[in-house]
Every structure is written in structure tokens, then in C-alpha cells.
């Protein structure tokens, strides 16, 4: 049978061997080269079907996110974005809660272009896009010499601080549609903190319908000059001028940059289509850089891609297409104001009214190939239905 001491010794040896086998198997089983391993860094990629439609259609989302990150470094201490609103009823909150528009709006990108945006990276990117979405074919010297003049704090953001007790900035954008004739909306329009007008903004004789207040006048040099010619017989013989008016340039061509530069410097346009023209006759003699705003080409690209990407782009007239001046002003206000009302824009009843509120006799609305005047009113109607803006209708 053996002694008890021997039995205990054998038992201890057996236990030791069993423990060694278990330890050896566990250790080398975990670290064996033949065992499957997870990579040290793994990138999560969503399939295309799981991305929002806007992100699948365009690369704009990623571009604007990267741009925001880069801009936060390059533009300190003056941030390029509009200041955050303290308004408890801002349209931004309604946008955020809307399942459709919440994906389309991006309030983080720059609205205005100014000197700190003109970096080598920006030039390289935008020179690949045609105007108004970039600078393809435009001389570097023209762009740089114009943008270096936009260094005032007033060139960075569109709106000043509001004096409203609730902190809400209320804006009105006034189009020139015939729906305003006999509307008696003048007092309602003038009650807003800021009023945007554009192109042939005739006021004299129509004060009761369209008001008199002007905070911003938006245009391209082409639409401004065409308006002075086309609507002179209706009383539009001068661009609105006043101490508090600010001018919003839409960068649709080289001539917009040249006119803007000449206006700030107070000199005749040095070259191009408008050579020798004197900006003072349009904007007055007492102009400085703070009087002028320039929309960012990236903002123009974003507005078109997200909101007004018309089928015209794919037609033979695609190179001519861009949103109308009224649409650009309305979308600009939507990205900078807390509450917005639109007057004089196309509605479902547009056939009832004349083309313009100042027409001497009724004229049908004219549809041009460079704008999509059917797509735009659908957008306004949708924004009105969602409660994001108020569209005047009758």
C-alpha cells in the first residue's frame, strides 16, 4: 500500500503537473501566432445606404466640416461665423427639429468672404470651380487685391447686435413680385429689425405696400446695371443710398470683384467690362470697406447644392444657371437671422398678379433659362409649411 507520506508526495506532484499544463495552455493559447487577432486600429465605415441622401449626393458635408476645423485655427481671434443667437424662438431650433431641413441646413460654414479666408488652400480649391461657386479663370491678383480690403469687423459677419428685448433678430426680405401691389404690407415690413431689398427695388409711390426701410441691398453688378436700365421708367433710377445701408455683393463674375475694390478705394474701375465706371454714382461718395459685404463662393456652392440644385444644370444651359438674386438673399437671411418673413416672392397664385408690383399694366411673370423659377417657390412653400419662415401669400 505504501506509506502515507509517499502518497501525499505523489499527490502534490500530480497537482503541480496539472497546474503547469493549465497555465502553459492558457498563456500560449492567448499569444500564439496562429490565433486570430484584431487589428490595432480599425476604421468604421458606414455603407453608402446608411448615409443621409445629401451626403451621398455631394461631398459638401465633409468639405464644410473640414473647412470649419481649419478656419477655427486660421481666423482666431475673429471667428468667421455669425454670432450665436440668444433668441429663444430662433428658426435654427425649428430647422434642427425638422426631419428634412435638419439635414440640409449647415449653420457652421462662413456666409461672407473676407481677407482671412484667402489662403493658399482656399485659392487652390476655389480656382477649380467656376463663378459664382469659385474663381476659375479669375486672376489671382484681382481676387487677392480685393479681399485684402475686406478686413473690417463689419466684413466678417452680416448683422449687428439686436436691440430687441428678447434678443431675436427679425428680418424681412422684399422681392419685387406683383403680389405686393395693393398688399398694404409696408408697416409690417418696416417693423422688422433688418430689411433686405434687391435689384429694381422701387419704393417711391409704393410705400404703403413695400415700406421704406432698407438695411441691405443685394445684387450682382450685372443685375444692378440691368435693373437701372430696365426699370428706369418705373422710377428706379438710383441704387438705394443712405448712411446705414450695407451692400451685399454676389460674386458672379470678375466684374463684381473689380467693382467692389474700386468702390472701397473710391477710384474708377481699372479694367474689364466696366472700365472707367465710377462706383460713387451707385453707392455714394462716402463709402468705406464697412459698407460692403461679399458672399463667400463656398456659401454660394452650398446654397445651390443643398437647396436649389436644378435640372437645368444638366441641360445645354447648365453653365448659365445660378439661383436668382431674390433666392440668394432669402437663403442668406435664413442663415443669419432669427426670424424671417418673405414678401414679394412667387407663390401658387402668381398668375393672378403682374410680374412686378410697380408695373403700369399687368405683365406675366417671365421665366429665364438661367434661373429655376419653379423650383424656388416650391422651396419657399416648404419652408413656410415647416414654420421656418413666413411667406406672404394672398
- In tens, the pLDDT along 93-112 reads 999 999 999 999 999 999 99
Cis preceding-peptide flag for 77 (omega within 30 of 0): yes
- Report, in angstroms and rounded to the nearest whole number, the Rg of the chain calculated over CA atoms: 30
pLDDT digits (tens, 9 = 90+) for 3-50: 544 445 445 444 444 444 333 333 333 333 333 332 322 222 323 332
The distance in angstroms from the start CA to the end CA of the chain is 113
pLDDT digits (tens, 9 = 90+) for 251-276: 999 999 999 999 999 999 999 999 99
Q: Please give the grid coordinates belonging to residue 46.
A: 458606414
Angle of helix 325-334 versus helix 297-306 axis, rounded to 10: 100
Q: Please give the grid coordinates belonging to residue 175.
A: 422681392
**Pairwise CA distance, residues 368 & 365, whole Å:** 10
* Locus of grid cell 422710377: 235
Return the DSSP state at 243. Answer: T
- Of 133-142, 144-153, 293-302, 363-372, minimum mean pLDDT range: 363-372
* Locus of grid cell 480656382: 127
Q: What is the pLDDT of residue 18?
A: 45
pLDDT digits (tens, 9 = 90+) for 355-384: 999 999 999 988 878 899 899 999 999 999
**Which strand (E) or helix (H) includes residue 229?**
helix 221-230
**Which strand (E) or helix (H) includes residue 339?**
strand 339-343
Residues whose CB falls within 8 Å of the CB of residue 85, separated by 6 or more in sequence, listed in order: 92, 167, 168, 169, 338
**Pairwise CA distance, residues 208 & 283, whole Å:** 26
Q: What is the pLDDT of residue 167?
A: 83
359 and 206 in contact (C-beta within 8 Å)?
no
Partner residues linked to 177 by β-bridges: 356
- pLDDT above 80 (res 149): yes
Residues whose CB falls within 8 Å of the CB of residue 353, separated by 6 or more in sequence, listed in order: 177, 178, 179, 181, 362
Return the DSSP state at 348. Answer: T
What would be the CATH architecture of the domain defined by 91-157+167-391? Alpha-Beta Complex (3.90)
Return the DSSP state at 334. Answer: H
Q: What proportion of the chain, given as a percentage, has pLDDT over 70?
A: 78
- pLDDT above 50 (res 145): yes
Cα dihedral: 342, 332, 262, 236 (round 10): -10
How many alpha carbons lie under 13 Å from residue 179 in its C-beta half-sphere?
18
Pairing assessment for the beta strands 292-294 and 246-249 based on DSSP bridges? parallel
pLDDT classification of 51: cutoffs 50, 70, 90: very low
Q: Tell which residue, 247, 252, 331, 299, has the closest CA to residue 81.
A: 299
Tell me the C-alpha to C-alpha distance, in Å, between residue 203 and each of 44, 64, 212, 229, 388: 58, 39, 6, 16, 28
Amino acid at each position: 500500500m505504501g506509506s502515507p507520506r509517499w502518497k501525499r508526495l505523489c499527490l502534490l506532484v500530480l497537482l503541480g503537473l496539472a497546474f503547469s499544463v493549465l497555465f502553459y495552455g492558457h498563456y500560449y493559447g492567448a499569444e500564439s501566432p496562429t490565433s486570430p487577432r484584431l487589428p490595432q486600429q480599425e476604421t468604421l465605415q458606414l455603407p453608402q445606404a446608411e448615409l443621409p441622401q445629401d451626403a451621398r449626393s455631394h461631398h459638401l458635408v465633409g468639405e464644410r466640416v473640414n473647412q470649419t476645423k481649419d478656419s477655427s485655427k486660421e481666423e482666431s481671434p475673429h471667428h468667421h461665423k455669425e454670432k450665436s443667437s440668444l433668441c429663444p424662438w430662433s428658426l435654427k431650433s425649428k430647422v434642427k427639429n425638422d426631419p428634412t431641413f435638419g439635414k440640409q441646413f449647415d449653420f457652421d460654414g462662413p456666409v461672407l468672404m473676407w481677407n482671412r479666408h484667402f489662403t493658399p488652400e482656399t485659392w487652390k480649391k476655389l480656382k477649380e470651380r467656376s463663378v459664382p461657386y469659385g474663381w476659375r479663370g479669375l486672376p489671382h491678383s484681382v481676387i487677392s487685391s480685393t479681399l485684402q480690403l475686406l478686413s473690417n469687423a463689419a466684413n466678417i459677419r452680416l448683422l449687428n447686435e439686436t436691440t430687441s428685448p428678447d434678443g431675436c433678430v427679425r428680418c424681412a426680405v422684399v422681392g419685387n413680385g406683383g403680389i405686393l401691389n395693393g398688399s398694404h404690407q409696408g408697416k409690417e415690413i418696416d417693423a422688422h429689425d433688418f430689411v433686405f431689398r434687391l435689384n429694381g427695388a422701387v419704393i417711391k409711390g409704393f410705400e404703403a405696400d413695400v415700406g421704406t426701410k432698407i438695411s441691405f441691398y443685394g445684387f450682382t453688378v450685372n443685375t444692378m446695371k440691368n435693373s437701372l436700365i430696365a426699370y428706369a421708367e418705373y422710377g428706379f433710377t438710383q441704387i438705394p443710398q443712405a448712411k446705414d445701408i450695407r451692400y451685399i455683393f454676389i460674386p458672379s463674375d470678375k466684374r463684381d470683384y473689380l467693382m467692389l475694390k474700386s468702390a472701397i478705394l473710391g477710384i474708377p474701375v481699372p479694367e474689364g467690362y466696366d472700365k472707367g465706371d465710377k462706383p460713387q454714382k451707385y453707392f455714394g461718395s462716402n463709402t468705406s470697406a464697412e459698407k460692403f459685404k461679399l458672399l463667400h463662393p463656398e456659401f454660394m456652392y452650398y446654397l445651390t447644392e443643398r437647396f436649389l440644385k436644378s435640372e437645368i444644370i444638366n441641360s445645354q444651359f447648365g453653365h448659365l444657371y445660378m439661383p436668382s438674386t431674390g433666392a440668394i438673399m432669402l437663403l442668406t437671411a435664413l442663415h443669419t437671422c432669427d426670424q424671417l418673413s418673405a414678401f414679394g416672392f412667387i407663390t401658387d397664385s402668381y398668375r393672378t398678379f403682374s410680374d412686378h408690383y410697380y408695373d403700369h399694366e399687368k405683365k406675366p411673370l417671365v421665366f429665364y433659362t438661367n434661373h429655376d423659377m419653379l423650383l424656388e417657390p416650391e422651396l419657399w412653400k416648404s419652408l413656410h409649411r415647416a414654420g421656418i419662415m413666413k411667406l406672404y401669400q394672398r
